[in-house]
A and B are shown apart, each in its own frame.
Chain A
Amino acid sequence: MMSLQEIKKSFLVSLWFMFLTFPIMVIKVNTIEQTIDWRWWRMAGVGLGAFCLSFVWRYAMARKEAGKKKAEDDNIVKVPLFQRLLSDRRFTIPGLVTSVALVVIFPFVFSWYQTGILITALIYVVVGLGLNIVVGLAGLLDLGYVAFYAVGAYSYALLNYHFGVTFWMALPIGGLLAMIFGILLGFPVLRLRGDYLAIVTLGFGEIIRLVLENWNEFSFGPSGIANIPKPGLFGLKLSLQESTIYLYFLMIGLALMTIFVVRRLQDSRIGRAWIALREDEVACQAMGIDKTRTKLSAFALGATWAGMGGVVFAAKTAFINPASFTIWESVIILCVVVLGGMGSILGVIIGALILILLPEYLRAFSEYRMLVFGALLVVMMVFRPGGIISGVRRIYHFEEPQQSTDNQKA
């Protein structure tokens, strides 16, 4: 492995990166104070890092190619470790029990702040599962998903501000309003495919945000809406700690309900129709599936969950403004779905937890958070585009298959 040729290659790579990053890394300019800082030691870091990483990269690439070839040659279905673990009863039952125990104990053991982070992660689980319907199941590339999230959040905030609508009333209303928006948004984009769909939905997302930012009479513009109340518990007054714990369990409930509903949808007539739509739109139509209805139902249902998530978000943070609903939010939610594994419920959950919790716990390296995040996205896509958990379909069981005489493989 450590042949002379390899070392030479890595050396050249390291030289290239030293050249490439020279201006930006080494020469730190400050035109305010008119200073130039020469940081030569960074060069060494880049050189060394590039040298080592190029070995790692080459190794990982070689493995990736080998894996691909093997699958082609042998025609076997790779059953990843994770999935094998999941189907093993000995693992799942104790795993489930420990998870449940952890979940229940968590808010009482950890601080209010930590619980708040977990609530945020759970919101992303719910919203991620919603987007999973649109992107993961139906294959509709929605880059403006945050618009529905905003609809939910603002509907609670505004209804509460003008009419005193409580959280529990706002939750279904927010979901419903988001659903309506989902259908409205779905109509014009029915004919669009792939990248065009992505761009238009991105445009819609931005339009909603910009309207919220500029239409001061309606949405109070960039200053947003404050003092959004948390959900009440039969009119009791709760302290910050208590209401956080309350919100936490509420989110657990919402997440469980979402998981339940999405699971049912996945293995149903409409779920199969969505996947067929994703796999091949033309063949899907040829098999009698109404493309329009299927697309609209995906948009509508996906939007509903974003709306509900938005309502909870407003309640949790007590203050919302248009800056919380940028394209990057859509991107993060999309990454949750893609990294976790499109179409996989467990994958989305894991994706949300990793994507939200990891940066929080890496706050020590908080400066490098986003840098690592960006790099992680690239690396994940290059080496594991299917996501953490990919391509699991339901296995059906039948009695002994009969011996057919005319279907022997050639």
Chain B
Amino acid sequence: MKRRSFLHRTGLLAGGASISSLAQRASATPTVAHFPKGKAEHCIYLWLGGGMAQVDTFDPKAKGDSSANPKKPGSEYDSIETAVPGLRFTEHLSRSAKLAERLTVVRSVNHHVIDEHAFATNLVHTGRIISGSTTYPSLGSIISHARGAVNPTVPAYILIGYPNVSRGPGFLGSKAGFVYLTDTESGPAGFSRPKGVDSERAARRQALLVPLSNRVVTDSVPAQYLEAQREALRLAGPEFMHHFNLSQESADLRESYGGEFGQRCLLARRLVQAGVRFIEVSHNLNFINGTGWDTHNEGQKNQHILIHELDVALSALLSDLEQKKLLDKTLVVVATEFGRPAAYDGRGGRGHQGTAFSMVLAGGGLRHTGSYGVTDELSKNVVENPVSVPDFLATIFATLGIDPHMDIYDGARPVPITDMGKPIEKLFV
């Protein structure tokens, strides 16, 4: 059997098995609605779990003061100019500011779910409120399902972070699932050989497997499993695993990306080159400030270090992609479950706010103008061009050339991939 068709049949890697059936179904249900069609091939989805404070990052407002009595709401930091005239970020995003022409801060994202991390995280990943009658797939799974991997010999969807149902394939099933790694050191679960197993020992082990495998009747279901097993063992070999070897990059480049989060971004770029379709990168590191992006109370104090880390990694990623001529075909997204209010909490941190917050789109061949949508003077409400979560996801899908109204099937039930999301037309030339 040819590798391509095999990979499709044994699932997981490409998700392309469903393309033919999708095509059939698509022809059965012609869509009338127009959608702008982007040409991006890959998506890197940077996840800022906890809720990035838009007023302290991409949507700066007049400066506040948490030590005043009463506390004065506002941004924590000074703002600076960016490469886009009139557009300002906070001072800790100085590198990204220089690249502002290559990105669009969507400042008017909003939702109304309760301020609870798990629930909002689920919404921003699936675009839907949970229903109890099905489990919705994440955008990574939808994109993998719709487009498969760019290179059919690698997985379509890789997650650098922790597995959870919000990131999972839901009703699409494991074919649309992810391969995950929790850090750049340990490599992808299932493909990194355990310590003490070098390639020689692995070969000996595989030889020992032969008599057992020989008992399996050809053309049987267990034989299909054996095929998948052979493929898995191949992936554990150098041909695939070298993509995860960051030491193949120059020291300068590695350094320019910064710490572990930056290294994850660099790995994401390598995976783009390897032909992975969708990579989610979690910025959940070290809790430098105690709380990560969930900057309640004292978590606010060292928030600038987190922002700085994001700035270094994001700017390095965008520059690197651009230099390698990958930026136009790679959509980079900075996403988070909600924002935070300009007002301070009792101990000088910030609570949660879903009614207005920022997410970032960069590269992907979109027509970037630095920002989209406007919030009021304390970024509490959207005053111009509101973007719902389904709209935001629809924009990502459209950038990757996927019709945001496309149906996917939960058994026999058609489920549009977004809940009536409309892409931000302005971003498409």
Q: Do A and B come from one complex?
A: no
Which residue numbers of A lie inside 8 Å of B, CB to CB? none
